[in-house]
Amino acid sequence: MPKLKRDLTMEQQLARGPMDLPFLMLVVLLTGIGVIMVLSASYATAVGEGHEATHYFIRQAAFAVAGFVFMYIASKVNYQWYRWGSVLVLGLAFLLLVLVLIPGFHTVRSDNVKRWLRLPGFTLQPSEMAKLGVILYFSARMSKRNTEKRKTYDTRKPSGVIFQALEDWGFMELVPYGAVLLAIMVLMYFEPHLSGIILIMVPAAAILFAGGIKLRWFAMGGGLVTALLALTLQGYQSNRILVWRDPWAHPRDGGYQIIQSLYAIGSGGLFGVGFGQGRQKQGFLPEPENDFIFSIACEELGLIGAGLILALFVLLILRGYWIALHARDRFGSLLVVGITTLMAVQVFLNISVVTNFLPTTGVSLPFFSYGGTALMIQLVEMGIVLGVSRQIPAPKQG
């Protein structure tokens, strides 16, 4: 009994340490700026749809408040519990990915895309849950890599010789990870959701790399995935590549949105046209409050304002990796690596799309793009990082 009490007291102390204030302040700043930009970018869309001008802003602000509550709760939880919950979260993600393919459960948007579950009062994108599930599961499993006993096979049998060779080469330990990723790829292919597949693959690869998997497997796996994606490109995806190469050659067939985005960025100049004074959101740039909200930020805040936003993202990403390097244990480190890499990839892809550096992928900008459930999950992920930061060992004195 005394030992149990001692263990509980130690766990409570670990969960109650000070959270990383620089990371917290950067999250609050980015979320606050993002919600304010939703107000500016969405009021014309809201009025055009017959809503109040603040319709989207109020909803996003409400989700942000709820997200901060969940972030606080997540930061208070001893992150070791996520080891045991990782399988449950991943299982729930698989269930949602299956449900979204069943008629009646999903909403169908342009190009017969089935990515959103229809729920009372809002929609949910299962890929958001899949991202978190993969990060939790991979981190929990990879953190035990150095303590697990390597399997041995009966080399007196031909099959045993083959399996033992694969085990020695390091292939067998990758089978569970590959099976999970393959199953998710298949389900998301039928949505279809290429950008979602990328956003799951990259953090997963980052966790495996940080966990010590040899580089040869990334070269082989990356080549295989790239070949599969190239062979399975669907019609609208191939069209996006053509539009990306020369959007002005397709002004009415896919290139319109990116053209208007470039007009918005270019018209902002150095200091911008002023907050709320942007013109492209007035019926020119489609869905300015969603994936292309950064274009509105460039137009209204100019190069300086957009640069400051990017600087905040860079600082947040660097601070995330700093927390990963100083985490108390391997699991916490891998967990933060996965979450931080996911955020970094989302920011990179979104900015690349709105500037036409990459083809349109449908990736939202974290903390900025309108979408309540996505914002809440992002804030929960930030809460998990803060939870890890609370258990960073104090520096030794003297």
Write down the domain spans for the chain.
20-389
Neighbours of 313 (CB within 10 A): 22
pLDDT value of position 2: 47
Take residue 136 and report the two structure tokens written for it. Answer: 């939790």
CA–CA distance from 103 to each of 111, 116, 130, 188, 197 (Å)?
16, 11, 20, 15, 22
Take residue 316 and report the two structure tokens written for it. Answer: 């947040």
**Amino acid making up residue 182:** L
- How far is 99 from 187, CA to CA, in rounded Å? 10
Tell me the pTM: 0.88
Take residue 278 and report the two structure tokens written for it. Answer: 């942007």
CB 73 within 8 A of CB 310: no
- How far is 366 from 375, CA to CA, in rounded Å? 7
**Omega of the bond leading into 286 within 30 degrees of 0 (cis):** no
Take residue 95 and report the two structure tokens written for it. Answer: 């269930």
Q: 211 — phi, psi (to 5°)?
A: -80, -10
pLDDT value of position 93: 92
Burial class (CB in 10 A: 0-12, 13-18, 19+), 309: buried
β-pairing, 116-119 with 122-124? antiparallel
Per-residue pLDDT of the chain (398 residues; tens, 9 = 90+): 444 444 444 454 555 678 899 999 999 999 999 999 999 999 889 998 888 989 999 999 999 999 999 999 999 999 999 988 899 999 999 999 998 888 777 665 555 677 777 766 667 788 888 999 999 999 999 998 877 667 777 677 777 777 677 676 667 788 889 899 999 988 888 877 788 888 999 999 999 999 888 877 777 777 777 776 666 655 555 667 777 777 887 777 678 888 899 999 999 899 999 998 989 998 888 889 999 999 999 999 999 999 999 999 999 999 999 999 999 999 999 999 999 999 999 999 999 999 989 887 778 999 999 988 889 999 999 999 999 999 988 776 55
Burial class (CB in 10 A: 0-12, 13-18, 19+), 87: middle
Take residue 300 and report the two structure tokens written for it. Answer: 């209204």
Residues 6+ apart with CB under 8 A from 253: 239, 243
Q: Give the DSSP H/E element, type plus range, for residue 327.
A: none
> Crossing angle for the helix pair 81-99 and 126-142, nearest 10 degrees?
150
- How far is 374 from 128, CA to CA, in rounded Å? 7
Indicate the DSSP class of residue 229: H
- How far is 67 from 368, CA to CA, in rounded Å? 13
CB 386 within 8 A of CB 19: yes
> Crossing angle for the helix pair 256-268 and 293-325, nearest 10 degrees?
80
Q: Give the DSSP H/E element, type plus range, for residue 161.
A: helix 158-169
- How far is 297 from 357, CA to CA, in rounded Å? 18
Take residue 67 and report the two structure tokens written for it. Answer: 């997200």
pLDDT value of position 35: 96
- How far is 79 from 77, CA to CA, in rounded Å? 6
Q: What is the dihedral of CA 122, 365, 246, 280, to 10 degrees?
A: 80
Take residue 130 and report the two structure tokens written for it. Answer: 């899949």
Residue 245's Cβ-side half-sphere holds a number of Cα atoms within 13 Å equal to 5
Burial per residue of 106-127, b for 16 or more beta-carbon CB atoms within 10 angstroms, e otherwise: beeeeeeebbbbeeeeeebbbb
